[in-house]
Structure 1
């Protein structure tokens, strides 16, 4: 079934490019007869170019997990309100990026900041190749700006970490041992502390995990407050657990592959990947050296060029 879906994706893409190319040729013919404007020809050309670029990026995503959705977690760093505000800005950036690219998103967990912003939030992003694209965002994001929360108007630096793992679907088989699971329930509210429930619909899952390769034991903790229905939240929490277990297996495979390909540059989880310097109007990715002065565009979700640069450097 997966192979059929993959082939259909390429056939649909080819047909879309073919149709757009025919429309471009038609627009050019009409332009020569002064029926359409030069701007309309330019628009048709841009459409073809965008479709080809999209197919080129998808061609770089060949790993089995790349086609999946993504679980994207944002955690504010040390620095109090400034870092928590920065985390909320990143949350908005990824929400806008998802909307720009036709992905659906929901917030499955959310914790308000002390005065503003957020301490942590988890986005579930569904859409074709969402993980393949967003895996490039994994790491520490650094903000430099004159903080509105500093009375002296000083330039401040703050950090937030972004963690991205695949969102498993029904095609992925992951075994969860019920004997290693415990549940807790709690009252929950929506994003921003709104609509606090009078019933304990929020769920907290604890899973006693033992790494099958290293033998290291750890407790996986997942909270879900996505809906006001406790059984549904339990179902969602289990899905997130399966996603984490799947990601651990992927990380082991990647580590083994890195040993074989020792010469290939390795990207460490948790490394500082990008700086957003507001006063200098500069956003720079430290892995690829790609940068832009369109700070507002980036914060509005325009991060496709950063993703493309990453994929060309590390996935091509």
Structure 2
């Protein structure tokens, strides 16, 4: 085995050992066994919501165990393959080993990033809201492009999404949209996307084909769970109902099933028109409201801590530029991670930015501590 190949293989083996330690694979296997017992109970589906939670947790934890086990086996097999290729002077097998080494490095690095998600809410589902900001119709169009980017990212990973509400702009694009992504650690992963995203391009809405800069804001919140106890008294909210509508104001529902909730003490407004039932829409809107109130509480606590530290790091404002003209570049302003392929990024290939953001945030937290 060549010295360089052996060194990389040894480094990956050590990195995977650290991942196995942080994930506590033995404990994970015990959790899988317990969930398998629970899933086998004959009365499991008497409570469909609880059953869904059990089966989802089981599926994700089984996938984690399989992933780590598979990576360990592939590392062991790779060492043998490379030794044989060198002993026999087999160029094709050696090339195959080099390719597998590169693939393993990518997969282990990605799994290592997962272990950096240790925040209080990181393991939860994510509730994402996108709003158009400065830039007029271009900003509304940009907000819709970002919505598609995140939905495509979720689709690429097989993560279920649920669009709660979309407010369409008059000419093109959207004023805002709120959706949920369901997967383990998806809040921790997407939370690094929070902030203002800037687009520079030749405006398709300008008859003089001038360059336009537009902005959209991304807000990422953890889904609220029962253990959070976010109390929202009825007297503190106003509930309005209206008919759901799509682009151009066309009615997509003949009943007043859409719900808008205003939280009177804070002025926070949320809405949901995704479900057919008014009760279902109200329940979904309340979840979003509770998530926003929980986030507000966290921000107040963080502000207090920043004051004690005599100032903190604010990285959630303008955080990424997407330039389509006069050159092609997407660059994160915090991590310096960049790519010259905006089309791929806007089609959901954002894992490189997510991983760089997670590593950067961990460094910031370590430095602050």
TM-score (norm 1): 0.85
TM-aligned CA deviation for residue 191 of structure 1: 6.8
TM-aligned CA deviation for residue 131 of structure 1: 1.1
Establish whether residue 265 from structure 1 lines up as the match of residue 321 from structure 2: no
Distance 1:91 1:184 in 2: 26
Q: How many residues align?
A: 304
Question: In the alignment, which residue of structure 2 is the partner of 1:212?
Answer: none
* Distance change >3 Å, CA 126–CA 152, structure 1 → 2: same
Alignment of 1:248-263 (within 5 A): 248-262=296-310
Establish whether residue 278 from structure 1 lines up as the match of residue 332 from structure 2: no
Question: In the alignment, which residue of structure 2 is the partner of 1:188?
Answer: 244
Question: In the alignment, which residue of structure 1 is the partner of 2:69?
Answer: 15
Pairing partner for 1:76 from 111, 118, 132: 132
Question: In the alignment, which residue of structure 1 is the partner of 2:46?
Answer: none
TM-aligned CA deviation for residue 45 of structure 1: 2.8
Establish whether residue 290 from structure 1 lines up as the match of residue 337 from structure 2: yes
CA RMSD after TM alignment: 2.8
Distance 2:98 2:247 in 1: 43
TM-aligned CA deviation for residue 171 of structure 1: 4.3
Q: Is the contact made by 1:73 and 1:123 (CA closer than 8 Å) also made in structure 2?
A: yes
Distance 1:239 1:97 in 2: 23
* Distance change >3 Å, CA 24–CA 190, structure 1 → 2: farther
Distance 2:97 2:73 in 1: 15
Question: Secondary structure of the residue that 1:153 maps to in structure 2?
Answer: coil
Question: In the alignment, which residue of structure 2 is the partner of 1:232?
Answer: 280
* Distance change >3 Å, CA 264–CA 76, structure 1 → 2: closer
Establish whether residue 91 from structure 1 lines up as the match of residue 147 from structure 2: yes
Question: In the alignment, which residue of structure 2 is the partner of 1:148?
Answer: 204
Establish whether residue 172 from structure 1 lines up as the match of residue 228 from structure 2: yes
Q: Is the contact made by 2:124 and 2:188 (CA closer than 8 Å) also made in structure 1?
A: yes
Distance 1:263 1:20 in 2: 47
* Distance change >3 Å, CA 23–CA 286, structure 1 → 2: same
Distance 1:170 1:4 in 2: 26
Q: Point out the structure with the larger helix share.
A: 2
1:99-154 per-position Cα deviation (integer Å, ceiling 9, x unaligned): 22332212111011222211111121111111111111111111111111111111
Question: Secondary structure of the residue that 1:315 maps to in structure 2?
Answer: helix
The more displaced of 184-193 and 146-155 is 184-193
Q: Is the contact made by 1:139 and 1:161 (CA closer than 8 Å) also made in structure 2?
A: yes
Question: Secondary structure of the residue that 1:253 maps to in structure 2?
Answer: helix
Q: Which structure 2 residue ranges, 5 or more long, are not aligned?
A: 1-22, 29-60, 364-369
Distance 2:221 2:153 in 1: 17
TM-aligned CA deviation for residue 4 of structure 1: 9.8
**Greater RCO, 1 or 2 (C-alpha within 8 Å, sep 6+):** 1
* Distance change >3 Å, CA 167–CA 187, structure 1 → 2: same
Q: Which structure 1 residue ranges, 5 or more long, are not aligned?
A: 210-217
* Distance change >3 Å, CA 225–CA 31, structure 1 → 2: farther
Q: Is the contact made by 1:73 and 1:122 (CA closer than 8 Å) also made in structure 2?
A: yes
TM-aligned CA deviation for residue 76 of structure 1: 1.0
Alignment of 1:158-169 (within 5 A): 158-169=214-225
Question: Secondary structure of the residue that 1:244 maps to in structure 2?
Answer: helix
